Amino acid sequence: MKIFNEDLGKMEKIRHRGAELSVWIKGDGKNSLLFVHGFPFDHEMYRTSCEPLSDEFRVMIPDLRGFGESRFLTGLEENGGVESSGGSIEGAETGGEGESRNQGERVTMGEFADDLIALLDHFQIDKTILCGLSMGGYIAMNFARRYPERLAGLILCDTNSHPDPPEKRKGRLQLADSIFSTGPVPLPEGMIPNLLAPETRSNAPETVRSLREMILRQSPRGIAAAARGMADRDDSTPFLASIPVPALVIGGEMDPISPPEGMRSLANALSDARLVILKGAAHLPPMEVPAAFTDSVRSFARDVYRSFI
Ligand code: MLT
């Protein structure tokens, strides 16, 4: 299904392994940029900063499975009306209930990366620059390790290459269980002070409001499955030096989750990386300092694609 509005970009829907994936796409340049959102967000977190890039590049921003407009299919939908006896996502109940509870379900970083490959195949894109923020970065590092031939360049934003320490892992698993009774309602209050810089919180009420609304519209099932997937993610650190493409590492100057020192170590561990620390931003530079984020990505992408000519 395609919904067209050329000015706003379009949402395309693609079915892949038990999910209907939704991707916002704009621009028809031969060089592409694929942006992967963080947790628990959707494509809207990139819209303001990435839409301007569509004058020069094909910009794709998917909603990861279980987030935004991407949804898990029911067994009936998957099988064209015939009840399924098994799900394709680990832990999924049989004869899936679409968006309802799935105890123990998780989507791994590798499964999210496989969905990105399905999108690239659908759009017949051989290589792309892939940008991932925070959880999106965990997914981008998994992608870079397993599908280096599909990368033209890599952008890692406010993320890290390490697995969770035990306490953090425990907290994620607790969240995955409790989210079915609370829903996302308690999340914004606890998360927003770490996601947005003090300036953003006091001077940009629209940004605060849209972030809050974005978190509140995510489904418990998607949140739980991704939280369990993050809890089980591998250490990407040993593979960083072998990533064979140029990289850009972007950090927010005031990010308490992925502080600048960590972003510097990440850039140093990559074989060919430049580092940009953006002033006035915490964990979400694309929402907090959109123009600076756009400029950093544009300048990197121009350099990468220039070397392809
Ligand atoms: C995110 O923004 O994606 C989260 O901070 C990732 C995480 O919880 O590790």
Q: Determine the atom of ligand 1 nearest the C-alpha atom of 135.
A: 3
Cis ω for the linkage preceding 40 (within 30 of 0): yes
Amino acid 77: pLDDT: 81
Q: How many CA atoms lie within 13 A of 83 on its CB side?
A: 5
Kindly report the pTM of this predicted structure: 0.92
**From 36, 39, 138, 233, mutation site for ligand 1 pocket: most ligand atoms within 8 A of C-beta:** 39
Q: Which two tokens stand for residue 44?
A: 């809207």
Q: What is the mean pLDDT of residues 222-246?
A: 98
Spatial contact of 45 and 217, defined as CB atoms under 8 Å apart: no
Q: In the prediction, which pLDDT does 102 show?
A: 61
**Mean pLDDT over all residues of the chain?**
92
pLDDT at position 205 is 98
Q: How confident is the model at residue 114 (pLDDT cuts 50, 70, 90)?
A: very high
Cα gap 115→199, rounded to integer Å: 36
What percent of the chain is modeled with pLDDT above 70? Answer: 90
- Phi/psi at 56 (nearest 5 deg)? -125, -25
Q: By alpha-carbon position, which residue is closest to atom 6 of ligand 1?
A: 135
Which atom of ligand 1 lies at the shortest distance from residue 136's CA? Answer: 3
**Has residue 128 got a pLDDT over 80?**
yes
Nearest in space to 156 (alpha carbons), one of 53, 254, 268: 268
Confidence band for 187, pLDDT divided at 50, 70 and 90 = very high
Q: Is the pLDDT of residue 83 over 90?
A: no
Residue 87 has pLDDT above 70, yes or no: no
The predicted-structure confidence for 273-287, as pLDDT tens digits, reads as follows 999 999 999 999 999
Q: For residue 111, how far is its CA from the centre of ligand 1 (angstroms)?
A: 17
Closest protein CA for atom 9 of ligand 1? 135
Q: Tokens for 230, please give them.
A: 């993050």
To test the pocket of ligand 1, the residue of 112, 158, 257 to mutate (highest count of ligand atoms within 8 Å of its CB) is 257
